A and B are shown apart, each in its own frame.
Chain A
Amino acid sequence: MPFGQLLIEGLAMGACYGLFGLAVVIIYRTSEVINFAAGTMAVFSTYIAFHMITFYGHPFWLAFLFALIFAALLGMFVEFFFLRPAKNPTLLGLIVITIGVQLLFGGLVCWKWTADQQAFTIPFSYQVIYEPLPGVFMSQWAVAVFVIAAVIVTLLFFFFKYTKLGTAMRATQQNKHAAKIVGIKTDRIFAFSWAFSSVIGVTSAMLISSRTILDPEFMMEPFLRAFAAAVLGGLMSVPGVLLGGGIMGLIENFFGYAMPAWKPITAFVVIVLVLCVRPSGLFAKHYVKKV
């Protein structure tokens, strides 16, 4: 078994799942809504970058920056026009709205860019490979994934711990009404969470797309794994989600190597087993129910 190879590949894909899981968690932390449109929103923003590079010939970094801005605006747009108008919504109602948004954006992407597969290229190529140990290969893409994931998680840690906005987001999650009483504009916090989540989502989607393929459904499967990673990590914990992603990637890669036919379900079986023992995830400190 090529242990080193499987470890690197598993961790790299796991880091992508973990990053995308963060997009799910950031919204869940503030509003307890699972955003089922996260995958399609990331696809939409990735196509914006693709369009700028392919049709207008802009350099990647400009397209990347524009896609981040677009993703932020898209996140705020969804929160403002789809979730906020819902009167006395239940959690289930909000989740159904996100499923509707997913269908809407999926249709839009298909209409504008068709369902044809495309190649999306980033400056960190999977074709440039290094050999850190004899027989163990590591692509430039994998190095970039590790660095980007580490930077984002570090920034998020400091953001939630030490900034006023991060503290306000945590306060809103813990008690929306109390947060309002102390002067936090919770509506703005919700909009910001959606923008923030959307930006991290598109970053992860671009990394995944550059290694796999770009089509309107390319985030369907990664979204499920990212969601599973978030559940495994406890849905509230930022480092927990990334660790959950890493575990997902490793389980998939090692079991996929040993038993390829069982690969698609192995990770989910493990998650069900883990949740049977720890219902609130591996890294949640305790289960809190809002009243």
Chain B
Amino acid sequence: MKINSLTKDEVFRSLVTSANGLTEEEAEKRLQESGFNEIKETRKTPLFLKFLGQFTHLLAILLWVGAILSFVSEYIHPGEGMLNLGIAVVGVIFINAVFTFFQEYRAEKALEALKKMLPFNVKVIRNSRELEVPSRDVVHGDILFLTEGDKVSADARIIEDTMLKVNNAPLTGESEPLLRSQEPFKGELLISPNIIFAGTTVTSGSGKAVVFATGMRTEFGRIAHLTSAVEAGLSPLQKEIIRATRLIAVIAAAVGIFFFTLGFLIGRSFWENFIFAIGITVALIPEGLLPTVTLALAMGSQRMAKRKALIKKLTSVETLGSVSVICTDKTGTITQNKMEVKNIWTSDNQKTTQNYLMLTAFLCNNARFIDQEYKGDPTETALLKYAREAVGSVTAERISEIPFDSDRKRMTTLYRIEQQSNRTVEQQNINCCSTALLGYCTNFVSFTKGALESVLPLCSHVLINGEKTAVDETTKETIRNANHTLMDKGLRVLAFAYKELRAESLELRTENSELEKDMVFLGLIGLEDPPRPEVPEAIKKCNAAGIKVIMITGDSSRTAVAIAREIGLVNGDPVLIEGPEFIKMSDVELREKLSMKEIIFSRMTPKHKMRVVSLLKEQGERVAVTGDGVNDAPALRKADIGISMGLSGTDVAKEASDMILLDDNFATIVNAVEEGRTVYENIKKFITYIFSSNIPEAVPYLAYILLNIPLPLTIMQILAVDLGTDMLPALALGAEKPTSAVMTQPPRKPNERLLNFQLMARAYLFLGPIEAAACMFGFFFVLYSGGWHWGEVLTVNNRLYMQATTACLTAIILTQIGNVFACRTHKESVFRAGIFGNRLMLWAILSEILLSIFIIYHPWGNRIFSTAPVGLSVWLVLIPFMLLVFFAEEFRKMFLRRV
């Protein structure tokens, strides 16, 4: 039992109030107890704590340890440059924290948009007097006074009504005004005609209602609660980066500790071991990775914006690429939302009956033709246009209307019809038709249109050859078959009927039952909302890419299936689930249905979407869902990717989504998925590139500890590579264009790792060792050229030593140039892909060379990185290594292609 099933007196008793309203004192007391009638955000981790979290994960802790050790070293051995290093490492922590936070940050404004939908002041009755009070002061038991244009501030039970109509679009997505009444209703609270909800608007009439829920307890508050509390969780990329950094941190720490201990065992001093420990840690940690990932995502989001997909949260760029299911609306996303009449059907196929049908389509219609333009709902507009073109204008006085209602699935209008002079020959038919309708003692006629299952039971007759013939079961079957035929063509079908009313029965005109009883069935009109031309190709791409597309529509099953067939969404017999059936299904049953290959949800409302999304996610799918209404917001939040409509979407939906489609087009989603997949592929490319340089950075330290030679590469030089010369080429790899293969592979599996063995082996066991050989060669080349002999100790300020470390650094920079070209493809030859196909890369390499020239030849660069200028001979002996990296990779790829 709910409040909608109670009588007015029972409502007063239940809420301990009366028609005179609460007293001010009682209202104040209730306000103290229940709190303000307002939308509040659920408690969440404050932003600053989220930011602080970026400083406390495992990798950050490892870097903190490195920084602290550097500061301790500076204290013990001042002047060795450890202070600079400590500061640099802290800088790395901050850079990583800022970039990661920026990646994950999204302005949360959905609740702000929701709050704007509630009124500031409302009229209530207290102590028998009408008062205007702030909306936030409304309490349960208050009597709301409702008039046209009012926004409703709380959920309330109607106790008085005078043609009261409300627009429930924020809750149901349906913009048709609904007639409300005070009569008890036994059904669900949500569809009860005696309930008005917070956030909705009174479109006409007036009434009074008793408040029974305020603030977050209202239906509107429920949406706000879900919008605020529901979180999609970490994106696949975030999870992968956590895993990757954890792995790297453990490797770095383990290698550091192992060789630190080994150093002790082979008799190295504590200080040497100390330097080594910090160095190896810094060398193995890819400091530039997180900034590069963030910037690559930012570039990806810009490319998506150019393709009309606006990304609101950077990590969503990559998440799109991992999507395995897209739950999409039909109208406006798959179709153009441009209705047009395609077929009409009458029992006799006679002109007279068709004219009756047109007259009904004209008059049972709320669209308008003003200033040579049709205005109104797309379906109504299409009907008006067709009818007007067929029969011209008809002047008639509308007496009353029973608006369209999604539960009744029909609307009815009552008219007094007048004949119009100045008609064309064609219009004479209508004249005749009107005359026929007016041929009795009255000129009052009710017209009804709606779903066949709603209209046909109201009809006792059918118009055949101008005669009213009693409807029998055979006729009904014929009509139903005609309806099915039209729906199978993908048309939205409406049935039409009329009824002549005698003058005496007009007293009953406001009685729905009288207007809609014993009607005469006229025929059917099939309307088409054509699919967008790009959609079939997009669906084909989804099929090739292994992405399942689930259509969720309010239309009938037959219409939905026909459209789905037309665009290639279904080929066999899809699983069809209608809204009422969906509500009754248990999670287990629904889960089983969702695992089917082709599935369509019809006669659904947006409130059902979140359940579909939740169940799919529980099954391990990565889900994208579209939505435009206020009540789509929770599903948009819950999905891995919530997609709102830029043209037709509400502000709430846009704020709750991760991506906004600027053209409302399904094909744009698929384009964005393609970009997302490309971004992921590119991330793998630049991770290979970045990780390759970790080996030539680490090997000098191993050589230093094992071979008892001067340290070939300083820690600041490592940072010069990781945060300097490597950054722009890595970013350029992030801008590689999509390859044709990207949308022909299935979505990557949830257990597929970013740092997999293949990638690590390529970087650490193939590319890295070549680069390490180059850097050690460069180091010894300079040392031996300068007369150094094995075992000779060189001070850190020794010019020869500084030139040798510079040669080591130069070797890394040069081999990384060869590497960046090699990393452009996994298997395909770079020559085939176009060696200069990525122009950004050429600019990046130029910048890399200029930066290395600054580091090597400019006094400031020399001072910061402890480098010294090297001769041309050093460059010349190292360039072959650059070519070696590139061609070794070409051979490896050729081998892979053949295997």
Q: Please indicate whether A and B come from the same complex rather than being unrelated chains.
A: no
Q: Which residues of A are in contact with B by a Cβ distance under 8 Å?
A: none
Question: B residues touching A (Cβ–Cβ < 8 Å)?
Answer: none
